[in-house]
Amino acid sequence: MAKVSVNLGARSYDIHIGANLLEQSGQIIKEGARSENLFLVSNPTVFSLYGAAVIKSCEDSGLKVVATLIPDGEEYKTMGQAEEVIGEAIRRGIDRESLLVALGGGVVGDLAGFVAAVYQRGIDFVQIPTTLLAQVDSSVGGKVAVNHQAGKNMIGAFHQPRTVIVDVHTLASLSEREFAAGMAEVVKYGIILDESFFVFLENRLSDIKDRDEQVMESIVKRCCELKAMVVEEDETERGLRAVLNLGHTFGHAVETLTGYSAYRHGEAVSIGMILACSLARDLGLMGAGEVERVTGMLVELGLPVKLPQLDSRSILNAMYRDKKTRGGKLRLVLPCGIGRAVVRDDIDDELILKVLCNQSQATDAH
C-alpha cells in the first residue's frame, strides 16, 4: 500500500492507494472522522459492485452508514440532483459533524463533493474514486462542481477532502473505453511534468493494458504525487495548476462541437494533446520524434488521436468560448519536449488554424 500526502496546512490530507483497500476503508475513515455517522453517496452501477464492501468495512469499524444514490451519468451532475441529495441528508438527520463519503467516478465525486461544500456551510468528506480518471485526477485537489445548462462545472467550489481512498482493484470492472480515457490523463502527467514517468509508461504498456495491480498502483501513486505537488503550489488555479489543462482547451472544443456524446472526456483530451504537441512542434518547442512518441503511446492505449470532421474555424471559436480564456486571450498549455510545459497566451490564431487544418487533412488521408 502507498500513501501520498497533500500538504495544504489545515486542509492537508492523505491519499491511500492499494489493491483491495475498500476492505480497510472503515478503519481509514474512522481515523479522521469527527462522528460515527456517514452519509454515503454513490450511483447504482458502482454501489452494486462495491457498496457492500465499503458498508461492511465501515460497520465493522463501528461507523453508521446512511446511503443515497444518484442516477448514473454526466447529465445528472446538476444542481437539481445536488438538491435531492441535500434533501435526503436533511431527512436522514445528517449533521455538521457527519462525514460524507463519495463512492464512484468523477461525476459522483464532483457532485457529492459539491454537496459537502455547501451542506450546512460545509461538512467533511472522503473520496473513494472508482474510475481511473477519478483516481488520478478528479478526486485530488478539491475542485467540486455541478454543471449548468450554460456549461460544465459552472457552479462549484474548492473543498478539499479529508481523505482519499484509492482501491486499484476497482479498475478491473471498468470498460475498455473508460480505462483508456483515464489513461489519457495519466499520459498527460508524463508529458507536462515527468519525462522518466513517461518512459516508465512506454516500457510497461502491456502490463498497463492488463491492468496489472502493482503497476497501476505505482502509476496512480505517481500521478497523485504530481497532482499534489501542483495543487500545493497553486490550490486555486492562479498559475501553475493551469498546466494540468494540457490538451483540454482543444479537447473541450471537440466535446462541445460533438455534443458531449461522441467522445469520453479523456478521448477528447487525447486528440487535444496531439494538437497541442503539433502546435508546440511548429513553434520549435518539441521535436517531431517526441510528437511521434506521444502519438504512438496514445494509439497503443486505444485512444483517438485525430480530429473528427469539424470546421477548423468553428473549433477555434469554441476554444475562445471555453472558460479558460482570460481577458479575451486564449491560454494554451504547450509541451516543451516531454516532461515540461508552458502556458502561453500569445499564439497567433493563424498558427492554431494551420494545426487544426493539417490534422483534419490527416483525417481525410486515412
Ligand X SMILES: NC(=O)c1ccc[n+]([C@@H]2O[C@H](COP(=O)([O-])OP(=O)(O)OC[C@H]3O[C@@H](n4cnc5c(N)ncnc54)[C@H](O)[C@@H]3O)[C@@H](O)[C@H]2O)c1
* Region binding ligand X by CB under 6 A among candidate stretches 134-142, 192-200, 301-309, 311-319: 134-142
* Region binding ligand X by CB under 6 A among candidate stretches 10-18, 55-63, 127-135, 284-292: 127-135
Q: Is 153 in the site for ligand X (CB under 6 A)?
A: yes
- Catalytic site includes residue 177: no
Residue 266 Cβ vs ligand X, minimum distance, rounded to whole Å? 7
Q: Is 51 in the site for ligand X (CB under 6 A)?
A: no
Q: x/- site string to ligand X, residues 88 to 117, per CB under 6 A?
A: ----------------xxxxx-x-------
The answer to whether the beta carbons of residues 148 and 79 sit under 8 Å apart is: yes
- Catalytic site includes residue 7: no
Cα R_g (the chain), whole angstroms: 20
- Grid cell for residue 69: 444514490
- Catalytic site includes residue 3: no
- Catalytic site includes residue 121: yes
Cα angle value 300/342/327 (rounded, 5°): 115
Residues 162-191 that bind ligand X (CB under 6 A): 170, 173-174, 178
Write down the catalytic residue from 221, 248, 264, 281. 248
**If you search the block for the grid coordinates 476497482, which residue do you land on?**
170
- Catalytic site includes residue 159: no
> What's the first-to-final CA gap in the chain, in angstroms?
45
Residue 104 assigned ligand-binding role: no
Write down the catalytic residue from 16, 169, 222, 227. 227
Residues 238-267 that bind ligand X (CB under 6 A): 265
Q: Is 143 in the site for ligand X (CB under 6 A)?
A: yes
| Segment holding 37, helix H or strand E | strand 37-42
Surface-to-core class of residue 198, CB atoms within 10 Å of its CB (0-12 exposed, 13-18 middle, 19+ buried):
buried
* Region binding ligand X by CB under 6 A among candidate stretches 131-139, 306-314, 320-328, 355-363: 131-139
Comparing CB distances to ligand X, the nearer of 127 and 278 is 127
The answer to whether the beta carbons of residues 203 and 215 sit under 8 Å apart is: no
- CA separation for the pair 219, 204 (Å, rounded): 10
Write down the catalytic residue from 16, 43, 88, 185. 185
The answer to whether the beta carbons of residues 77 and 112 sit under 8 Å apart is: no
To 10 degrees, what angle do helices 265-282 and 176-193 make? Answer: 30
Residue 344 Cβ vs ligand X, minimum distance, rounded to whole Å? 22
* Region binding ligand X by CB under 6 A among candidate stretches 2-10, 17-25, 138-146, 186-194: 138-146
Residue 102 Cβ vs ligand X, minimum distance, rounded to whole Å? 10
* Region binding ligand X by CB under 6 A among candidate stretches 43-51, 247-255, 284-292, 307-315: 43-51
Q: Quick one: how far is CA 222 from the chain centroid? A: 14
Residue 50 Cβ vs ligand X, minimum distance, rounded to whole Å? 7
- Catalytic site includes residue 241: yes
Concatenate the DSSP letters of all residues of 86-139 into one string.
HHHHHHTT--TT-EEEEEESHHHHHHHHHHHHHGGG--EEEEEE-SHHIIIIIT
Residue 46 assigned ligand-binding role: no
Nearest to 114 by CA among 47, 69, 159, 67: 159
Q: CB 366: neighbour CB atoms within 10 A?
A: 6
Cα angle value 125/184/286 (rounded, 5°): 125
The answer to whether the beta carbons of residues 103 and 92 sit under 8 Å apart is: no
DSSP-derived 3-state class of residue 78: strand
Write down the catalytic residue from 16, 43, 217, 245. 245
Q: Is 131 in the site for ligand X (CB under 6 A)?
A: yes
| Segment holding 349, helix H or strand E | helix 349-365
Q: Is 137 in the site for ligand X (CB under 6 A)?
A: yes
**Interacting residues toward ligand X by CB under 6 A:** 43, 45-46, 49, 72, 74, 77, 104-108, 110, 130-131, 133-134, 137-138, 141, 143, 152-153, 170, 173-174, 178, 265
Enumerate the known binding-site residues: 72-77, 106-110, 130-131, 143, 152, 185, 248, 265
Enumerate the known binding-site residues for Zn(2+): 185, 248, 265
Positions marked catalytic: 121, 143, 185, 227, 237, 241, 245, 248, 252, 265
